A and B are shown apart, each in its own frame.
Chain A
């Protein structure tokens, strides 16, 4: 079908060309970037990327687009030298008069395609856009495309050295079943701990994965008076309390709204399967779109917002995962089922990795800090990111408030203790602040 349509476009193109219609300039709007990011998000859900890997899929295409645009506008400055091991991209030759916004979106889509699995889904979008641009102005399109591919090649070389491939076949996370405080796989699918080597991925702005190593969690103890046990009981009690209030309670709505677990398994009939959900990072990328639109950001501002936020998210995951597999803490579900209530189920499904710190809290802390720097504090927005998944719109008065709600949602959901949320949020804000400080945009 795809090729058929392509074929059709070409035919039209030939016809049009023969009519000698004057070529018109190709204009790129911020919406095209939103469409490309949305597409990546859709495919991520289809391909089931884990949250850390999803953050990597967002960030590189954004940086590629950003670096292309940074040449044009005086408002943005290149990230080369500011982001670890990134060198200057090949400069666009003045004489060629390259449409940099066009090159930026082409690079964004090309790089995205190489990062996801179901390439054909990306190609559908590319084919229709490319055909459109070709029709408008073939020479302009071709020049931009050629340049975009040069940049993609450059960014790919840098990307390929981030240790991602090496971490694919590193040993799996071995579960120490004898230590009662250690993380154990959780129901229903008892997946292996995902991405145990994510701290070996090259950071973007952080000097190392451990730069914002959080304070240690309360010492594991099942003694009734201990801090740890109190926090464990808090998860259990809160969950019982809000369950009693029913599905319409604010807490349950909050928990579900921020669930963002791409691994949720459902059992029907003979086998278990996963339902689609976006990752925590993707939710915040969705908020970038909302904020950009609401503030009528132009192409440069939009790409800037996507880039900075996605760097914050990517580094937040590296920082958080570093701690997760350092502390290897057991999830509340496992402990509650073992010691308190064998039939207890958390409101949200426990995701497959150690507890401390809370990934959503770290990521929300980092992303909200970046967004506040870009769009300002007290930025009111209506978050409709989860509407496609059957959840309502929630409104927030600031990014920080949204982040705090995202963080505490993990307690309501029954998948994190209080410490992982509070410390996680701080950890994320530290990551966010560093990024804001390091890669200031010229117009900020």
Chain B
């Protein structure tokens, strides 16, 4: 009795190993040959450069990852010219070894001068480092942060004052900044524009996460963990930094797990602001400098959501719109197996609880926050920069000198405490024996059980228009545990080199081998904050001098402009922090230009215009119903529908009035348009009784052919079963003057999605299409939808019915100009569906014939209009967009398997999607076993679950036996151009793909839209990056985009045109807004 299973497994594993090995080898060879020349960086050996430095960690009794959660957070790098010889030198911090200062000898050779320079060679857990001139003597000083006052660690933060001649003297105590606590990083900048460098000291926390507590805990002072703001009194003639934390309105609590720090004037008002990235549940802080030595924490007003486990941050212009964007890093894995066995997003319930405690929305993935001048929207998902595993330093630098800032990211954690099997192992550990005597051996065992995983660092090349391409760094992409990193042109050859501090490995020096034109700007005697605009070749490049960025590190103070093919610079405008302007004209490229602060002309701050919109009196109030407590595996909440709107002349005065249908427990409202152009609420008693219905759609139609417009109100909501009286539709009959009575008649009572009307059989009576949204309690199934023929006298008969899909919108139009109408239906998990009415009285499905066969998407809206002015009707579809966690194409669709897999007479939705090249189940193992308990026996650990890559792996059921499979092939919002025979698709530009498109108005040469949706489960995240915009479609090859003036992150649901260039946007569960062009 040999155990065959065991043997087999071993053999298979071995075979796999060999296969992988062979494959990897051949792969590497061909790839390497290709990239050898193309790889932008050369990794220079430490023995060659002389940079013999390694942040080695060795567990000691009271210091290890169990005892100190930031044990593997690593060390930093500072680059700056300490001896003013034109070459930036390097300072490395170490945790358990001495910090080191290396002098740049030129040609990428370095010399360790730590001891002779007077750098303390006592190891005392250094963290972040910044180089700056704190005493305005023209020499760079060095400030080193430490963890002290904790267990055996007793270090104090150090300030090395540059004495000249490569000599430093430690004077932190003299300057009053010899803090001892949990320091992460300090940034020096002039917060009060008085000409000296003030300091923000960011500290982290070891505060237990026992309770999420309330966000108000951030007002409680903590002397070891709380952040501090110091004012430099140099301008007053004193050698002292004074603690101004409280007066400056800086939070200084144990809730601040500060790991990321950058200081820049993000709102361009001439005062430097602060971004603090906090780990765990505490929000990131955006402190806006009020110009009077105080700050206002404003993250909630500027971001829809931020990174959750924020670890590094950089601020620079990514889109070349002259505004500073923000990248912050988190820890989402990109390898499918690691992803499936790591802790990810909070459950929807926990997310809800955190929100109720006053914390803002956070997601555990990288964020690329784009600045539009008024607020930020996240574009990490559309740029595919959102998952780079456990990530530390983001550096926004133009490595290839093409004029666009690229993104470099260091990553790796020496031990992965978020491995779910490890966490499960912890829970079975016998803590009864966790006594002091046995502590060390238990912890050692724990640490050894914690998985290790090193990863190559990541480089994303900015290809413009929100496209980033993952690029090999050096052609080898060896795996490291990399933390702090900084950039500078260390060999003065016109491109930016990168230095990285690694754990248990020599520091990395990446020599940049790019060509491309450039200009390096050196600002003499500058303090951080100078703004530099470079004008060349009709383009503007904008940079702000700010050295602390990435993680635990500070980069060069020189400003490096990549210029691509540009050979002449028209002008360079430097705005110093105090507003003084220096302009240089006609500069040559490929040079370093030194600029002195001179002259007297002052810069006039470009006051940002407030967003131009007005609130409208209607407010939509959604009832609370949490679908996921009923449909545990559904990816979205379907009970967040509405409001419905109908714009029509109800009182026959030639003006367009407005009907708005509310959510459950909110009555419909009728607004009549007055001659003055204002909408006035009309007193319509009849609606009062119908507040219990949730309106999902409504239309105006002359149902009784009496010459006025009646209303068909479609009821819906996912909170009642089909057939429930509260799902019954309603008809309101108009007396011609805008007075309505409710038609006493039995109407359809299903969860409606869309209603549209058209006299398809040309009998003079207007007919109806009722498209249904979902079967309540069974997400994914296609409910029955109906075509109703108007028989006159308020009676309808079902003319045709079919399960088209989860319908959201429908339109009638004769798109093939045969005199008979087509019905165009869109919805979730379905293609843009064309039902053609034919002369034999039947509706035929012509979806494929018209070219829509592969358009299965999550469509919200469809419009029919002639977009390209060729006389033929085109189709415009609003989809979920590309700024979305799921990616889909015809070859790699998102698949949803619908079946009762656990045979409990309830539908299960098992979704698989392509995750960076490998299919993974959408639901986590925890969620799956909760819904399908039998899987708990199949997958007793996360490791076994992590290898699941298709439905058969998971359920033992082959695809062909599954009741129903639905697909998503297309997530983009699209235009389909009618060529007379079929429709040819083109995607809307990327700015319109930043969020869902919820409603569209097509005008001549214009598509106006509103967007955003927050019904997705937390794992997918809310879509909030585009409240609304206008696409100018005169030239379809080059569609221009402009955003609508609307608040950030509103959940736009309907957009209506009030008059030329004025629109009304109605939101789901929120206010309504009038906005214009």
Footprint of B on A, CB under 8 Å?
3-4, 6-7, 10, 45-48, 117-120, 165-166, 168-169, 171-174, 177, 185, 187-188, 190, 192, 266-276, 342, 345, 388-391
A345–B66 alpha-carbon span in the complex (Å): 24
Smallest CB-CB separation from B937: which chain A residue?
A117
Smallest CB-CB separation from A10: which chain B residue?
B1
> Are A187 and B210 in contact, CB atoms less than 8 angstroms apart?
yes
A117–B424 alpha-carbon span in the complex (Å): 14
Given A3-B5, A342-B213, A388-B432, 8 further pairs, Cβ under 8 A: A6-B1, A171-B629, A171-B630, A174-B629, A177-B356, A270-B69, A270-B418, A276-B429
B1061 within 8 A of A: no
Q: How would residues 913 to 946 of chain B score, 1 for a CB under 8 Å from any chain A CB and 0 otherwise?
A: 0000000000000000011110011001000000
Contacts of A269 in B (CB 8 A): 65-66, 69, 417
A117–B939 alpha-carbon span in the complex (Å): 9
A165–B906 alpha-carbon span in the complex (Å): 11
Q: How far is the CB of B55 from chain A (nearest CB, A)?
A: 20
> Are B208 and A271 in contact, CB atoms less than 8 angstroms apart?
no
A166–B430 alpha-carbon span in the complex (Å): 34
Contacts of A274 in B (CB 8 A): 427
Smallest CB-CB separation from B217: which chain A residue?
A342
> Are B904 and A7 in contact, CB atoms less than 8 angstroms apart?
no
Q: Tell me which of A7, A119, A272 contacts B2 (CB under 8 A).
A: A7
A390–B350 alpha-carbon span in the complex (Å): 32
Contacts of B611 in A (CB 8 A): none
B433 within 8 A of A: yes
Q: How far is the CB of B623 from chain A (nearest CB, A)?
A: 12
Smallest CB-CB separation from B280: which chain A residue?
A270
B212 within 8 A of A: yes
Q: Tell me which of A4, A45, A166, A192 contacts B3 (CB under 8 A).
A: A4
A187–B69 alpha-carbon span in the complex (Å): 21
5 A–B contacts from the bound complex (CB under 8 Å): A187-B212, A188-B212, A269-B417, A271-B423, A273-B424
B451 within 8 A of A: no
> Are B431 and A169 in contact, CB atoms less than 8 angstroms apart?
no
Smallest CB-CB separation from A276: which chain B residue?
B428
> Are A345 and B933 in contact, CB atoms less than 8 angstroms apart?
no
Contacts of B209 in A (CB 8 A): 188, 267, 272
B343 within 8 A of A: yes
Q: Tell me which of A171, A267, A275 contacts B431 (CB under 8 A).
A: A275
> Are A190 and B353 in contact, CB atoms less than 8 angstroms apart?
yes
A3–B3 alpha-carbon span in the complex (Å): 6
> Are A168 and B933 in contact, CB atoms less than 8 angstroms apart?
yes
Q: How far is the CB of B94 from chain A (nearest CB, A)?
A: 22
Contacts of B940 in A (CB 8 A): 117-118, 120
- Given A192-B349, A390-B433, residue A276 in contact with residue B418 (CB < 8 A): no
Q: How far is the CB of B548 from chain A (nearest CB, A)?
A: 25
A376–B353 alpha-carbon span in the complex (Å): 49
Contacts of B309 in A (CB 8 A): 270
Contacts of B630 in A (CB 8 A): 171-172
> Are A172 and B632 in contact, CB atoms less than 8 angstroms apart?
yes
A171–B931 alpha-carbon span in the complex (Å): 10
B802 within 8 A of A: no
Minimum-distance CB pairs A-B, first 9: A390-B432, A3-B3, A172-B629, A187-B211, A269-B69, A274-B427, A273-B426, A267-B209, A270-B417
Contacts of B213 in A (CB 8 A): 342
Contacts of A174 in B (CB 8 A): 626, 629
B contact residues, total (Cβ < 8 Å)? 49
Contacts of B628 in A (CB 8 A): 172
Q: How far is the CB of A10 from chain B (nearest CB, A)?
A: 6
A275–B431 alpha-carbon span in the complex (Å): 7
> Are A190 and B69 in contact, CB atoms less than 8 angstroms apart?
no
Smallest CB-CB separation from A165: which chain B residue?
B904
Q: Tell me which of B3, B626, B904 contacts A168 (CB under 8 A).
A: B904
Q: Tell me which of B2, B3, B931 contacts A169 (CB under 8 A).
A: B931
Q: List B residues 425-441 near A (Cβ within 8 Å).
A: 426-433
Q: How would residues 886 to 910 of chain B score, 1 for a CB under 8 Å from any chain A CB and 0 otherwise?
A: 0000000000000000101110000
Q: How far is the CB of B430 from chain A (nearest CB, A)?
A: 7
Smallest CB-CB separation from B353: which chain A residue?
A190
A83–B995 alpha-carbon span in the complex (Å): 59
B684 within 8 A of A: no
Contacts of B626 in A (CB 8 A): 174
> Are B904 and A275 in contact, CB atoms less than 8 angstroms apart?
no
Contacts of B356 in A (CB 8 A): 177
A266–B350 alpha-carbon span in the complex (Å): 17
Smallest CB-CB separation from B935: which chain A residue?
A117
A119–B939 alpha-carbon span in the complex (Å): 11
Contacts of B3 in A (CB 8 A): 3-4, 7
Q: How far is the CB of B625 from chain A (nearest CB, A)?
A: 9
A58–B632 alpha-carbon span in the complex (Å): 28
A271–B210 alpha-carbon span in the complex (Å): 11
A173–B629 alpha-carbon span in the complex (Å): 7
Q: How far is the CB of A74 from chain B (nearest CB, A)?
A: 40
Contacts of A266 in B (CB 8 A): 431
Smallest CB-CB separation from A173: which chain B residue?
B629
Smallest CB-CB separation from A45: which chain B residue?
B428
A168–B903 alpha-carbon span in the complex (Å): 11
A388–B209 alpha-carbon span in the complex (Å): 27
Smallest CB-CB separation from B419: which chain A residue?
A271
> Are A273 and B427 in contact, CB atoms less than 8 angstroms apart?
yes
Smallest CB-CB separation from A190: which chain B residue?
B353
A267–B209 alpha-carbon span in the complex (Å): 6
Smallest CB-CB separation from B443: which chain A residue?
A268
> Are B349 and A389 in contact, CB atoms less than 8 angstroms apart?
no
Q: Tell me which of A165, A268, A342, A390 contacts B214 (CB under 8 A).
A: A342
Contacts of A273 in B (CB 8 A): 423-424, 426-427
Contacts of A342 in B (CB 8 A): 213-214
Q: How far is the CB of A401 from chain B (nearest CB, A)?
A: 26
> Are B212 and A190 in contact, CB atoms less than 8 angstroms apart?
yes
Q: How far is the CB of A300 from chain B (nearest CB, A)?
A: 33
A170–B20 alpha-carbon span in the complex (Å): 44
Contacts of A271 in B (CB 8 A): 343, 417-418, 423
- Given A3-B6, A172-B632, residue A268 in contact with residue B937 (CB < 8 A): no
Q: How would residues 397 to 422 of chain B score, 1 for a CB under 8 Å from any chain A CB and 0 otherwise?
A: 00000000000000000000110000
> Are A46 and B431 in contact, CB atoms less than 8 angstroms apart?
no
A173–B936 alpha-carbon span in the complex (Å): 22
Q: How far is the CB of B562 from chain A (nearest CB, A)?
A: 38
A94–B1 alpha-carbon span in the complex (Å): 35
Contacts of A390 in B (CB 8 A): 431-433
> Are A188 and B431 in contact, CB atoms less than 8 angstroms apart?
no
Q: How would residues 575 to 591 of chain B score, 1 for a CB under 8 Å from any chain A CB and 0 otherwise?
A: 00000000000000000
Q: List B residues 1-57 near A (Cβ within 8 Å).
A: 1-3, 5-6
Smallest CB-CB separation from B343: which chain A residue?
A271
Q: How would residues 657 to 691 of chain B score, 1 for a CB under 8 Å from any chain A CB and 0 otherwise?
A: 00000000000000000000000000000000000
Contacts of B65 in A (CB 8 A): 269
A271–B331 alpha-carbon span in the complex (Å): 13
Contacts of A171 in B (CB 8 A): 629-630
Contacts of B353 in A (CB 8 A): 185, 190
Q: How far is the CB of B908 from chain A (nearest CB, A)?
A: 8
